[in-house]
A and B are shown apart, each in its own frame.
Chain A
Amino acid sequence: RKEVEQDPGPFNVPEGATVAFNCTYSNSASQSFFWYRQDCRKEPKLLMSVYSSGNEDGRFTAQLNRASQYISLLIRDSKLSDSATYLCVVGEDSNYQLIWGAGTKLIIKP
Chain B
Amino acid sequence: NAGVMQNPRHLVRRRGQEARLRCSPMKGHSHVYWYRQLPEEGLKFMVYLQKENIIDESGMPKERFSAEFPKEGPSILRIQQVVRGDSAAYFCASSPGGVYQPQHFGDGTRLSIL
CA–CA, A39 and B104, complex, Å: 15
CA–CA, A106 and B33, complex, Å: 26
Chain B contact residues, CB within 8 Å of chain A = 33, 42-43, 45, 48, 55-56, 89, 91, 93, 98-100, 102-108
Interface residues on A, range: 20 to 34
Residues of A near B99 (CB, < 8 A) are 31-32, 91-93, 95-98
Render A26-50 as a binary contact track against B, CB cut-off 8 A, 1 for contact. Answer: 0000011010000001111110010
CA–CA, A93 and B104, complex, Å: 19
Taking chain A's interface residues, is the majority helix, strand, or loop, or is none over half, making it mixed?
strand
CA–CA, A41 and B108, complex, Å: 9
Cβ B104 vs Cβ A32 within 8 A: no
Cβ B105 vs Cβ A44 within 8 A: yes
